Structure 1
Amino acid sequence: MIAVKPRHLSLVLASCWLAACQPAPQQSAAAPAEEVQVKPLVLAGMQVQNPSAFARPDQAVRFALADLGLTQQPPASSVWSGANELPAQWLDSDLDGQADQLMVVASFAAAEQQQWQLRGEPSALQQSSRVQAEISVKEGGEWQGKQYQGGHFVNVQTVTPPAQYTDHSEYIRYEGPGIESDKVGYRIYLDWRNGFDIFGNITGKPVLHQVGLDGYSSYHEMQPWGMDLLKVGKSLGAGGFGFWDGTQALGVAKVSGHTATVLDNGPLLARQRIQYHHWQVAGKTLNVDSQLSMTAGSRLLHNKLTLSEPLDNLVIGLVKLPDTKLLTGTLESSGHQYTYLATYGAQSLNKDNLGMAILFKQGQLDQLTADDHSHLAVMKLIAGKQLDYYLLAAWQGEPGGIQTEQQFVDYLQQQVELLTRTPRIKLDNPATTAAVQQPLTAERALFWAKAMADAEMQRQVPDYVWGGWDHERQRPTTFEYTTGLLLQAIDDLNQLQPNPAYQQAVLNTASSFVAEDGSIHSYDLGKFNIDSLNSGNLLLRVWQRTGEARYQKALAQLREQVRQHPRTQNGAFWHKKIYPYQVWLDGVYMGMPFLTRYSTTFEQGASYKEAVHEFEVVAEKLRNPETGLYYHGWDESKQQAWANQDTGLSPEYWSRGMGWLAMALVDVLEEIPADQTELRAPLIAQSQQLAAALQKYADPVSHVWHQIPDKPQAPGNYLESSASSMFVYFYAKALNLGIIDPSYRAFTEQSYQGLLNQFALLDANNQAHLTNMVQVAGLSAGRDGSYDYYMNEPVMRNDAKGMGPFIMASVQLAKLLGQPK
């Protein structure tokens, strides 16, 4: 037997999966050679769906190498959709010299789903490059002052121009690095101007290698490949960036130098990097790293900016030209949704129509403004240092080019959806397949709980302490429900499988937020945010174990919030002070389990009735008796844009909203003593009704639930892991508590297996992930509760709002499976 090192295990499994590990068929010695069929060596499977109601040609999809179950790029690989090989390219996204991503480009019909395989066999495709990044400088001449005389152009991988380099030095061909797709090309001035310019392409294939070979003047007029389209002047050009000083945009001009480097050069993705050294601006000196990339078939240029230190008022913009129309996308949308600032009109140097746009997440926009030269968007950077945005140009003269303003607007709307609503993906690798196919036992449920918890102990838990960083929301950690949710789940697991590391993590997080005087860092009672109460459950557990007075004082503050919390006329809690008269399903879970547990501990159950009343109002106002499902929210005032003017209800059923409610039901029922039958009766009835309704809307194949449960076939809808985990937790715990019929046991086990089949992923490092969960959803300005709104919220992995319930569901299922049937 050959010993296999752990880091190579995934490759060994891959070679076995669906290939060498299958039993070899018996063959007759006389069988003709042509009858022997060799199965392809399948390394991983990918299910990819277009989430839009329109076709997506040349959709680029990326997969992490580790997710495919691989520790390194295979020596031979190809990607197949049925009998057709797809164009693919391996990428080194983190620039460590090793491939860590696979990018595939494919075309999809509206809402089409495709099944792909990564095979361990050489590619047979003859791919011509559809993208290009290049830097070309002169050699063989000499510097005379600020100009380079003589010599000839040669392409280089990287360049740091000498100190005397400036505009029109005739040293860099077309004055900076260039990057293009088969649609359009861009150049970035590598001097004080820092403008972004456009090369129109009339050939439908890369052309930068033909541009400016004889100097600057030729590309200002039409050539066989196309022409320069834009007069940048003193503006930011076609999507450049700078600093907004309150009156004008200052380009990245005062620097000690630049370094430009080609990182990737096709066939499907081109990428380059520009480093701006020692930018002096706003009284600071900082470095800027700009990574620019384009994919085949797209006009979009992605600019990923990273600053060495925080800077307010970073600005991006478009040149302001006469006889053009300024266009803006909707600013009333979720902060995660992309929008745009654009111009359209006869603004090309060829005197024909040209559309330009910058596209960015609405939540990162600080303000739209302008100066004498540019239309501008002032941006809010992540941690003050990071910004991702896109720019594009669409020229009338390109093959099949956009000809009218309306066509350009329609195109922009599609680009917004392409960026916002990413393809729905399910991955299978051999390690995951082997793990999820193990017989379902109490031990296997705990295996998965532990695998997810241990992974989170590495990924996120250490940063959940006060002063840490919330990686999910890209902001400093605060005392909010997600913190308490994940740590409560880990504590649930610890109660079945004690682990000192789990216990310490719970204590570290709680103690970091609660000061010695009992005050809670980042908590503000006056905000009346019901979400804040959920983490009180964590503090309650820590107080019960430690008896420290500071935790009791902190808990008293949260209880005081409940006393003062504003309510509807029928006594239901507002979701937040900033959301007046509104009751959301989320809030029932955030508040009522805490209230009942606190009441058990300190009030001899005096507040049970108050908690039960919240469920009664929710059942009365939000439940649809025809379906048994609950709408996400209710506005008593009927004033919100999302609220039905007759009922006050939001328009859709959101699965995770109902998941919060379902979890709250069983958690509160667990707390109210069995002898208080009158109080428990409405909650038991509600639980039984909900169990029957949810079972009807489970997907009949996977046995889990869609993001919008009653519209499984609508474009973009997807099987969603956080709600599905919450529902399994509800069923398993309800069975354990004896509040639903035992006949639900088989369905509950089936649905838990569905969680594993659909969402569990073991990567090449044997680290567990939970995939395909919506990051967040709410009801407010820009979050209208429509079907499209729920489809446009980001789809994540390992978010605490899904990981916590999955671990909790696994613990409850382990308890259930430990009981006799």
Structure 2
Amino acid sequence: MARILFGKTLLSLSIAAVVSACSPQPAVKTPAAADNTNQIANLSVSNPSNFARHQQTLLLPFSDLGVSAEQAQALVALAGDTAVASQLIDHSGDGTKDTLLLQFELTAAEHKPLRIVNDRARFNDQQLPKRTQAEISHKVGGQWQDAKYIGGQFQNVTELTPPPQYTDHSEWIRYEGPGIESDKVGYRIYLDWRNGFDVFGNKTGAPVLQQVGLDGYKSYHAMADWGMDLLKVGKSLGAGGFGYWDGDKVQLVSSVSGHSAKVIENGALYSALQIQYKDWQIAGKTTQLTANLSMTAGSRLVHTRLSLSEPLDNIAIGLVKLPNTTLLQGKQDIPGHSWTYLATWGEQTLTGGNDKLGMAILFKHSAKKTITSDDNSHVAVLTPSGSALEYYFLSAWDGEPGGIQTEAEFVAYLQQTVEQLTLTPRLRLKTTLSEQQKAQPLTAEVALDWSERLAASEMSRQTPFYAYGGWDYERQRPSKWEYTTGLQLQAYDDLLKLRPNPKWQQVLSEVIDSFITADGDIRTYKLSNYNIDSLNSGNMLLREYQRNPKPQYKQALDLLRKQLTEHPRTAEGAFWHKKIYPHQLWLDGVYMGMPFLANYTKTFEQGHAFDEVVKEFSISRAKLRDPNTGLYYHAWDEARAQAWADKDTGLASQFWGRGLGWLAMALVDVLEIIPEQQTELRQPLLDMSAELADALVKVQDHDTGTWYQILDKPQAAGNYLESSASSMFTYFFAKGVNNGYLPPRYKATAIKAYQGLVDEFILLHPDNSVSLVNTCQVAGLGFGRDGSYEYYMSEPVFRNDAKANGPFIMAGVQIAKLLATN
């Protein structure tokens, strides 16, 4: 891995030069909505839910808007001619403003157009009521007597590091720690060994922390005009605190050498705190823990982002365990990226009455290790993503203005909340910076430029770290031998045939080589898993072997071939997708396995397995193709046993874009491998290609030339133009025409699709790097994934994902070849 890191260091020095050298330098193209030089971007925001989203918050990084921090100081969003509530914030917590925060109303399934401008006069005119607050206040003018502070008066500060003698009940920090609140509810975080999270009930509908505890440490435990401290925290995690699960109980963040707290933001719409826990001694490690906590106006939620200098195997989050409460748990049979909750409801306040309080922690299902409890807390034990963990906590008191009154209302609120976290608003962003550089006519060189620019950006962001021992930033886990690595590397390899770059070629070789042992084994690969996805990187290994025929490479290739020899199959001979997905044929698997099998058998077996390759396509057509539309369903279950499978046909219910994209790429890739003289073998693939091309044109978006996540439902709530499928189909059409698999009339289809890829999905940043946006991060079936339309909408919409980057780069190469034939 050291070689890879060193290679990346060298490469990073040349990234800016490479990007700059291949950057188009067109005349300025003025966006349609812009009539002045202050235009920054046009934005369309779509509500993916069939219910209204009140006070929807949206974060737009300055880098996405194409402006520097200095250029962004007067950014304003307009709906028509009306300014949208906004705030410039430091979202990263590093002391520099980096993001434009917007807040607005969205009706059910609404598409809202917005315009971002740099207008200082209009910015200065925004007079927003203060609806959030972050506060740290401690006494000055008194003196310490042992561990208690005597006398003095409170003074607000933006940063605070307590002295060594400070502990609980020292009466030095007002309400014993930093506070954060919205106009709904407030929280305090004990800045001592307890690290408990407490709740301030708010009766006013406006921030109240500035008046809490000014007259002493007991006053907020009695009802006041503003509200009161609602919770008995004790030794628990309180209202959403965190610690470590030792197998029996939560270990609080207690054994530390000190704390520091800082107000990051204290604004009208957004406030944030950062707390540093120094030298936390836990699980045999010493780690530096940073907690970033933020709230937005109109919301009860605290967004909590934890980072560790030394990773831990778990973080425990939870709620105080109190009598007279009901424990509530969100859905568990759901996809891993979906959010869920653990909550309590009941008479759990200190008011002395029969008022009700609901509390909840919200987390991604994939992070959950277990739900448990100890004597003090209800606990969700979570697995961090490397050294980071993200979650939310909230409280809902029936005494707040318009507060939630019943358990049923609280559950309905939680269900809508997790949907809003899971189904993020759909965005189409067109920035002035991006539009300027997209204005030039499309030529072969321009297409290669875009492929090279994305490749250069990814060489800096991710590609070298796909090596064994590296980190997969997309999946937030150690790098493995998997299909995404091979896909991205093959895209580079295609590009380098037209735009040679020895440094990049060296990185590709080092990444592949890092997985192959001296005796021909493949690190992180396990044949007995019978996972057909694992074969795709074999294509890149074969290319590397042809350049550098090391014996261990051949042994590794033979190992992958052995998998296909033993791989379980359906009754008619189609490969199962994985051993853990028995009797199932997926479109994805056709791409993962068949180009490799075709490549291997051509290179080492004189093509003896070509008939097996073609058979896989033929069975896929027979089982998965819908005769009415010509589209293919995502998967088929021969056993009809899966919850997602139709009990009569065994078919999944949706035409998923990327699933069909995998098949489309597999067709043209395999046709390139099987020799032209083997006409009988090739004809079924040529027929499938012609059928598929006709079907895809019918569902191609007329305006943009791209395709939707679910191909046949463009108007359904939440559906969006998706970059990986669109890139794959562009590659299919361009390569099909280039190689004569498709008639020349599809050249126009390919060019329109490619122009749409660039226009819709390429986003330029001020440092001249580019991103590819609006990619479905992952989609599958089973294990909580029910295959419904709603499921495909629930998967995260991502950027710079290898499953889109690779096909985009490949598509650019094929378009360049197509245009070069003029």
* 1:704 aligns with one of 681, 703, 706: 706
Residue 6 (structure 2) aligns with: none
> What CA distance in whole angstroms lies between the structure 1 residues aligned with 2:393 and 2:31?
45
* 1:632 aligns with one of 618, 631, 634: 634
> What CA distance in whole angstroms lies between the structure 2 residues aligned with 1:18 and 1:682?
48
Conserved in 2, the CA contact under 8 Å of 1:735 and 1:741? Answer: yes
Secondary structure of 1:294 counterpart: strand
Residue 90 (structure 2) aligns with: 92
Q: Greater relative contact order: 1 or 2 (C-alpha under 8 angstroms, separation 6 or more)?
A: 2
Please tell me the residue identity of whatever aligns with 1:675: Q
Please tell me the residue identity of whatever aligns with 2:251: L
* Change in CA separation of 1:104 and 1:21 when aligned onto 2, cut-off 3 Å: closer
Q: Are 1:378 and 2:375 matched, yes or no?
A: no
Q: Matches of residues 183-222 of structure 1 in structure 2 within 5 Å?
A: 183-222=184-223
* Change in CA separation of 1:369 and 1:763 when aligned onto 2, cut-off 3 Å: same
1:688-736 CA-partner distances (Å, limit 9, x unpaired): 1111111111112111111011111111111000000000100111111
Q: Are 1:684 and 2:686 matched, yes or no?
A: yes
Give, in angstroms, the shift of residue 283 of structure 1: 3.0
1:300-335 CA-partner distances (Å, limit 9, x unpaired): 001111122122242111011111110001111111
Give, in angstroms, the shift of residue 349 of structure 1: 2.0
1:61-105 CA-partner distances (Å, limit 9, x unpaired): 111212211122334332211111012111223344432211111
Residue 544 (structure 1) aligns with: 546
1:24-74 CA-partner distances (Å, limit 9, x unpaired): xxxxxxxxxxxxxx8472122222222211111111111121221112233
Residue 611 (structure 2) aligns with: 609
Give unpaired runs (5+ residues) of structure 2.
1-15
1:480-510 CA-partner distances (Å, limit 9, x unpaired): 1000100100100111122212321221112
1:762-808 CA-partner distances (Å, limit 9, x unpaired): 11111121110011111121111111111111111110000000011
Work out the number of aligned pairs and report it: 797
Conserved in 2, the CA contact under 8 Å of 1:629 and 1:693? Answer: yes
Residue 138 (structure 1) aligns with: 139
Please tell me the residue identity of whatever aligns with 1:335: G
> What CA distance in whole angstroms lies between the structure 1 residues aligned with 2:813 and 2:40?
32
Residue 41 (structure 1) aligns with: 38
> What CA distance in whole angstroms lies between the structure 2 residues aligned with 1:714 and 1:308?
44
Conserved in 2, the CA contact under 8 Å of 1:627 and 1:693? Answer: yes
Please tell me the residue identity of whatever aligns with 2:115: Q
Fraction of identical pairs, as percent: 57
* Change in CA separation of 1:510 and 1:313 when aligned onto 2, cut-off 3 Å: closer
Secondary structure of 2:395 counterpart: strand
Residue 647 (structure 2) aligns with: 645
Q: CA RMSD in A?
A: 2.0
> What CA distance in whole angstroms lies between the structure 1 residues aligned with 2:33 and 2:337?
45
Residue 357 (structure 2) aligns with: 354
> What CA distance in whole angstroms lies between the structure 1 residues aligned with 2:163 and 2:63?
41
Residue 279 (structure 2) aligns with: 278
TM-score with structure 2 setting the length: 0.94
Residue 107 (structure 1) aligns with: 105
Q: Is the deviation greater in 719-728 or in 271-280? A: 271-280
Residue 69 (structure 1) aligns with: 66
* Change in CA separation of 1:165 and 1:97 when aligned onto 2, cut-off 3 Å: closer
> What CA distance in whole angstroms lies between the structure 1 residues aligned with 2:411 and 2:88?
34
* 1:535 aligns with one of 531, 534, 537: 537
Secondary structure of 1:290 counterpart: strand
Secondary structure of 2:139 counterpart: strand
1:361-381 CA-partner distances (Å, limit 9, x unpaired): 111110001112111111111
* Change in CA separation of 1:16 and 1:735 when aligned onto 2, cut-off 3 Å: closer
Conserved in 2, the CA contact under 8 Å of 1:49 and 1:111? Answer: yes
> What CA distance in whole angstroms lies between the structure 1 residues aligned with 2:114 and 2:326?
43
Conserved in 2, the CA contact under 8 Å of 1:73 and 1:100? Answer: no
Residue 315 (structure 2) aligns with: 314
Please tell me the residue identity of whatever aligns with 2:90: D
Give, in angstroms, the shift of residue 261 of structure 1: 1.0
> What CA distance in whole angstroms lies between the structure 1 residues aligned with 2:390 and 2:94?
21
Please tell me the residue identity of whatever aligns with 1:584: W
Q: Is the deviation greater in 589-598 or in 730-739? A: 730-739
> What CA distance in whole angstroms lies between the structure 1 residues aligned with 2:552 and 2:719?
46
Please tell me the residue identity of whatever aligns with 1:681: Q
> What CA distance in whole angstroms lies between the structure 2 residues aligned with 1:394 and 1:476?
38
Conserved in 2, the CA contact under 8 Å of 1:14 and 1:43? Answer: no
Please tell me the residue identity of whatever aligns with 2:464: P
Please tell me the residue identity of whatever aligns with 2:629: T
Please tell me the residue identity of whatever aligns with 1:606: H
Give, in angstroms, the shift of residue 145 of structure 1: 2.1
Conserved in 2, the CA contact under 8 Å of 1:14 and 1:69? Answer: no
> What CA distance in whole angstroms lies between the structure 2 residues aligned with 1:444 and 1:287?
47
1:156-191 CA-partner distances (Å, limit 9, x unpaired): 111111222222221111111100011110001112
1:457-484 CA-partner distances (Å, limit 9, x unpaired): 1111110111111110011111110001
1:675-696 CA-partner distances (Å, limit 9, x unpaired): 2111111111111111111111
Please tell me the residue identity of whatever aligns with 1:339: T
Residue 408 (structure 1) aligns with: 410
Give, in angstroms, the shift of residue 256 of structure 1: 2.1
Residue 514 (structure 2) aligns with: 512
Residue 170 (structure 1) aligns with: 171
Secondary structure of 1:187 counterpart: strand
Residue 669 (structure 2) aligns with: 667
Residue 337 (structure 2) aligns with: 336
Give, in angstroms, the shift of residue 619 of structure 1: 0.5
Residue 158 (structure 1) aligns with: 159
Conserved in 1, the CA contact under 8 Å of 2:135 and 2:179? Answer: yes
Conserved in 2, the CA contact under 8 Å of 1:342 and 1:356? Answer: yes
Please tell me the residue identity of whatever aligns with 1:437: A
Give, in angstroms, the shift of residue 254 of structure 1: 2.2
Give unpaired runs (5+ residues) of structure 1.
23-37
Secondary structure of 1:44 counterpart: strand
Residue 268 (structure 2) aligns with: 267
TM-score with structure 1 setting the length: 0.95
Conserved in 1, the CA contact under 8 Å of 2:194 and 2:253? Answer: yes
> What CA distance in whole angstroms lies between the structure 1 residues aligned with 2:275 and 2:26?
38
Conserved in 1, the CA contact under 8 Å of 2:726 and 2:757? Answer: yes
Q: Are 1:524 and 2:521 matched, yes or no?
A: no
* Change in CA separation of 1:21 and 1:365 when aligned onto 2, cut-off 3 Å: closer
Please tell me the residue identity of whatever aligns with 2:359: M
Give, in angstroms, the shift of residue 140 of structure 1: 1.0
> What CA distance in whole angstroms lies between the structure 2 residues aligned with 1:277 and 1:760?
41
Give, in angstroms, the shift of residue 537 of structure 1: 0.4
Q: Matches of residues 423-572 of structure 1 in structure 2 within 5 Å?
A: 423-572=425-574
